[in-house]
Structure formats: structure tokens, C-alpha cells
């Protein structure tokens, strides 16, 4: 597989909404990203982590909603970016409603064992978008080709 | 997916060496092992992340929970990590300021130099 062969293709993977399948989603996305020679290894690692966080949230949303449906991971390769959509069929959530973490020097910071996933996603990918669907939430992660990536600092 | 969790005693510290991928599936085993160590009375723990291939926010959550638990026993949890892709996760989340991160188990035990997070 080469970058030009991957461009324009859409790859879809449906995983059972169970924790053991997050590794499979990571593996598929990173393998596809590796075929895209326009993404540096470091950026592939970033995307892999962002996909893992998005899938983890999706599975937790399914758990909370008691949904037995699958989580959809869709990858769209284009000539200038790789986009990954993670769609859950949980009840949806409001990313703007997340609590702000106290500063790291605050002793209360240690009360936050959760809620680090969304800030990580935002820092790792070039673009992230959370959209409600009829059934849950769709998270769109975009990794652009070239030197404009957020990780190139 | 295997998660390696080996423990050895080292100069008054329990060194927990983690190998493999730490995510939502494997993190519960990691959390349980840490809790076991604390309940065995081991309150100074070094978590060696050098064998970790992947760590996400659920893994960070286990470490934050472990640190909190140990501090409530007047203990401490130190980390060993030199891999840039793992350190990056701590940097983004600001946790390099919360954890004492060392370049090697020797450096962590010595409590002196070799800290990546100064």
C-alpha cells in the first residue's frame, strides 16, 4: 500500500463496545496511517493515542447508556490529511460541560483521575470536532499532512 | 494483549516494572497490582515505564490514583521513563509537575540526579 493508493479510500471498522477491542482500533488506524507516507511516525503515535481516547470514551458512553451496539471507526484518507471518525451509539455528552482541572500545583489536582482524555485529544490532533448524531456522538479527528501539524513544535 | 507487571524490592522501594500497552482494557490489572502493593505495606513505589509501548489517559489515571493513595500513607510514587512518546503524554496533561520522573531505577532509588521533570 502506498500513499497514493490510500488517498480517496474510506476504511470502516465496527468494534464491539468492549474495552479489549480498543487495541484493535488503534492497530488498524496506525497501520493505515503508516501506509500514508505523508505522516511522520511521531504523528502516527499521536493519532493512535487520540483514537484510543475517543474509542475509550465511546465505550464508556455505551456502558452508561446500556447500549449493546457497536462503535464505528471510519478512516478517510485524502491527498492532504487523514481523518478518523469515531461514532458511538451512547447517549451523547457535552464536551463544553467538562470541569476545568485545577492547576497542577494545586493539591486538589490529584482528585482528577479521569477527564484527561479530551484534553489529550485536543492537544494531539490538528482538528477535533464533537458532533451529536441521531444515536450518540461522532468525534472527528484530523491529522493534516506536512509541517503544519500541532505536534511540530 | 499481555500486560507485564513484575515487582522487585530495591533499597526500601518496591519497583513495579510495567510492560506492554496500558489502556482501558489493561489498566484495571495495573490498578489492582498497585493497590495490592500498598495494602502489603509497600508505601514507597517506583513504577518503571521503560517497557511500556503505549499509555493513554486511563493509565495516567491509575498513576494519579496510586500517587494519591501513597501520599495518604506518607509514601511516594516515583516514575522511571525516558521514552519521548510516553513522556509526551505526561507533558501535555501537566503531570510532569505532579510526578517525580527519573531516567533510571538507580536514579529514582538514589533520589538525586537524573530527573527528567526538574
Domain ranges in chain A are 3-148
B53 touches chain A (CB under 8 A): no
Residue B32, domain member (yes or no):
yes
| SS3 state at A108 | helix
Tens-place pLDDT, residues A90-112: 866 556 655 566 666 665 655 55
**β-bridge pairing A81-87 and A70-77:** antiparallel
pTM: 0.87
Cα B80 to Cα B30, B44, B117, distances in angstroms: 16, 14, 11
Cell of B87: 513522556
CB A86 within 8 A of CB A118: no
Residue B115, domain member (yes or no):
no
Chain A residues within an 8 Å CB radius of B54:
26, 48-49, 52
Strands lying side by side in the sheet with A127-132: A10-16, A70-77, A81-87, A137-144, A127-132
Name the phi and psi angles at A117, rounded to 5: -65, -50
Residue B35 to residue B83: CA distance in whole angstroms: 25
CB contact under 8 A, B25 and A117: no
Residue B114, domain member (yes or no):
no
Residue B116, domain member (yes or no):
no
Answer whether residue A65 shows pLDDT above 90. Answer: no
CA B79 from chain centre, in angstroms, equals 4
Owning domain of residue B48: 3-109
Cα A93 to Cα A47, A55, A115, A136, distances in angstroms: 22, 14, 13, 8
Residue B67's domain is classified under what CATH number? 3.30.750.24
B1 touches chain A (CB under 8 A): yes
As for how many domains chain B has, the answer is 1
Tens-place pLDDT, residues B41-61: 999 999 999 999 999 999 999
Cα A38 to Cα A45, A76, A145, B95, distances in angstroms: 14, 14, 5, 31
User: Left (φ > 0), alpha (ψ -120 to 50) or beta: where does A115 sit?
Assistant: left
Residue B117, domain member (yes or no):
no
CATH of domain A3-148: 3.30.565.10
Residue A138 to residue A72: CA distance in whole angstroms: 9
**Which of A40, A49, A54 has the highest number of chain B CBs within 10 A, making it the mutation to test binding with B?**
A49
Residue B30 to residue B26: CA distance in whole angstroms: 7
Residue B28, domain member (yes or no):
yes
Residue tagged 483521575 (cell numbers): A113
For B85-104, what is the mean pLDDT? 95
pLDDT for A97: 58
Residue B45, domain member (yes or no):
yes
Residue A54 to residue A41: CA distance in whole angstroms: 20
CB contact under 8 A, B68 and A111: yes
For A48-58, what is the mean pLDDT? 96
What share of chain A in percent tops pLDDT 90?
A: 57
Amino acid at each position: 500500500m502506498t500513499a497514493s493508493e490510500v488517498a480517496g479510500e474510506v476504511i470502516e471498522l465496527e468494534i464491539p463496545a468492549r474495552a479489549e477491542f480498543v487495541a484493535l482500533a488503534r492497530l488498524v488506524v496506525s497501520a493505515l496511517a503508516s501506509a500514508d507516507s505523508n505522516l511522520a511516525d511521531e504523528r502516527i503515535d499521536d493519532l493512535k493515542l487520540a483514537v484510543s481516547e475517543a474509542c475509550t470514551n465511546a465505550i464508556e458512553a455505551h456502558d452508561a447508556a446500556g447500549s449493546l451496539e457497536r462503535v464505528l471507526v471510519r478512516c478517510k484518507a485524502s491527498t492532504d490529511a487523514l481523518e478518523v471518525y469515531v461514532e458511538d451509539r451512547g447517549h451523547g455528552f457535552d464536551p463544553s460541560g467538562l470541569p476545568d482541572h485545577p492547576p497542577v500545583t494545586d493539591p486538589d489536582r490529584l482528585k482528577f483521575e479521569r477527564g484527561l482524555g479530551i484534553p489529550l485529544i485536543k492537544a494531539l490532533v490538528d482538528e477535533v470536532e464533537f458532533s451529536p448524531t441521531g444515536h450518540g456522538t461522532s468525534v472527528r479527528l484530523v491529522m493534516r499532512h506536512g509541517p503544519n501539524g500541532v505536534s511540530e513544535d | 494483549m499481555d500486560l507485564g507487571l513484575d515487582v522487585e524490592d530495591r533499597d526500601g522501594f518496591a519497583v513495579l516494572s510495567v510492560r506492554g500497552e496500558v489502556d482501558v482494557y489493561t489498566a484495571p490489572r495495573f490498578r489492582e497490582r498497585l493497590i495490592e502493593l500498598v495494602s502489603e505495606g509497600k508505601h514507597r513505589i517506583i513504577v518503571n515505564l521503560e517497557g511500556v509501548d503505549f499509555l493513554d489517559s486511563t493509565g495516567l489515571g491509575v498513576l494519579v490514583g496510586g500517587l494519591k493513595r501513597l501520599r495518604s500513607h506518607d509514601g511516594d510514587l516515583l516514575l522511571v521513563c525516558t521514552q519521548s512518546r510516553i513522556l509526551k503524554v505526561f507533558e501535555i496533561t501537566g503531570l510532569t509537575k505532579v510526578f517525580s520522573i527519573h531516567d533510571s531505577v538507580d536514579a529514582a532509588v538514589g533520589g538525586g540526579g537524573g530527573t527528567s521533570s526538574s
